[in-house]
Structure 1
Amino acid sequence: MERVNRLLSNFIKKNTQLVILLLLFIVFSIILPTFLTSGNIRNILKQNTTVCIASIGLALVVISGNLDLSIGSLLSLTLGVSLRMTQYNTFLAFAVPLVIAVCVGFINGYIVSKFDVNSIIVTLGTLSAIAGFVQFYRKGNIVMGIPGMA
């Protein structure tokens, strides 16, 4: 019994986030009977897809020992450009934002590595520049209620 307690304790210490997530699933399933329905799970996955994809790219930056603060404003810019490109061509709606994101990432990485500037400083400047450009590009408007995206 002592061995089981020790193994369980080690598992919880190593996998704290997983245990908390599992407990949250159990609690919400008890409180809300509709929580574990296929429609709700599909909705949760749909709402978090963009964040998950962005976090994969950000994980590579963090693993290298750097931080990228500009990802939020870059995401806003690329989503806006993608929406604009859907009026012309579906391929452009994917390709142009990807090229923009790669170019911004390359510029950030180049400045950090070539000039030995802290990544937080570089990406904070990029965040401000892109956020300002997005405000200018959208004329201060917020994109909401995109037809066909519900």
Structure 2
Amino acid sequence: MKRMPASAVAGVLAVALASVASAAELKPEDQIQYRQAGYSFMAWNMGKIKANLQGDFDQGQVEAAANAIAAIANSGMGALYGPGTDKDVGDVETAVKPEFFENMEEVGKVARNFIAAANNMAEVAAGGDQAAAQDAFGKLGQSCKSCHDKFRADD
């Protein structure tokens, strides 16, 4: 298994901490747009993994996509759910349900499960075993679905 160099880990942590601190300074509409961008990027990477698992398996592509998802999962995106982001702001729409802001204990549980599944996907992808990656990808997808089912309004 490949390990991330300590300098890279420190860099990711520094960016995550800076992001959390600066998120409080962002306008609600910017917080909504930034978190949506993060989710869009994760969705694109989920598509890359799925394509590789269903077609010609390219371990490098799966690993890169899994690492991107894990990085975003561990980035502190929860800070982008600040006051005023529970509803549409001007022309910036959000799909988050009000229940998200009313049950932070459940939100935390769902978030921890997602982070664990994303980290597991990255670890498994580094191993290069397609069957294990398929299993980890299914678990990651279930963790995404769990949040959508509970906290995302229907499109």
User: TM over 0.5, yes or no?
Assistant: no
Q: What TM-score, normalized to structure 1?
A: 0.29
Higher Rg of the two aligned structures: 1
Q: What TM-score, normalized to structure 2?
A: 0.28
Higher relative CO (Cα under 8 Å, sequence separation at least 6) belongs to: 2
